[in-house]
Amino acid sequence: MMNCKVYSKEGKELRTMVLDDTVFGLPFNEELVWYAINNELANKRQGNASTKGRAEVHGSNAKPYKQKGTGRARRGDKKSPILTGGGTIFGPKPRDFSWSMPRKAKRQALKTILSLKVQSDTLKIVEDFSVESGKTKDLAKLLDNFQPGLRTVLVLKDDDTMLKRASANIPWLKFLSYNRLRAHDLFYGRQVIMLETAAKNLNEFYSAKETGE
């Protein structure tokens, strides 16, 4: 077990809380994190690029001139790929870029990223807060106490609609729920602000998964 400081909304130290070593105290696994991030990026690709082949473009199927006797090269129809307006050779077609990653490996990657953030002192646990007004200026004022402007990830304890609404217009802020973390956002966040209840839930959530409960 390891102790981590808990900060107030104003950025002052309040107390310490115990973090589970099996979640926040693991060595960094670069290869596993690389696979987890690339898995997320691949699954986000739409794969809807499409071009028309020779059989799909609009045009006549007739030969433009006879095969022999003209002295010119043999020519098929106007839809030939080597002519302007013809079909595309080996062009892209809609495809599915997604691939699956074992759940256990994905969880391990997320835990090793959380451990990296704790060890590099870029993860701050903050007492639970919300923005009842749902206004961006109220959330921005609160975040001024935690290095504003850095690429920040806010880990929530639940689906806080008003807090998400307030963060929608802050370009350097991403929000994640504790039970729906994303490796890409978590890894590339310059700082991670985690609500106190979210940290407690993560302790229980990943520990329970590890024991198979």
Q: What is the pLDDT along the chain (213 residues), one digit of tens a residue?
A: 778 889 998 888 888 988 888 889 899 999 999 999 999 999 999 999 999 999 999 998 999 899 999 999 998 899 999 999 999 999 999 999 999 999 999 999 999 999 999 999 999 999 998 888 889 999 998 889 888 888 999 999 887 788 888 888 899 999 999 889 999 999 999 999 999 999 998 888 876 555 454
Q: What is the bridge-based pairing of β-strands 2-7 and 123-126?
A: parallel
| Cβ(194)–Cβ(125) below 8 Å | yes
C-alpha span between 75 and 90 (Å, rounded): 20
Rg (CA), the chain: 27
> What pLDDT is stored for residue 208 in this prediction?
56
pLDDT attached to residue 152: 92
Residue for token pair 């002519």: 83
CA–centroid distance for 39 within its chain: 9
pLDDT at 189: 93
Q: Which CATH superfamily is domain 2-45+101-211 in?
A: Ribosomal protein L4/L1 (3.40.1370.10)
| Closest to 197 measured CA to CA, from 53, 11, 17, 25 | 17
Helix (H, G, I), strand (E, B) or coil at 173: strand
Residues of the chain with CATH 3.40.1370.10: 2-45+101-211
Do 97 and 90 meet the contact criterion of CB atoms below 8 Å apart?
Answer: no
Pairwise CA distance, residues 119 & 25, whole Å: 8
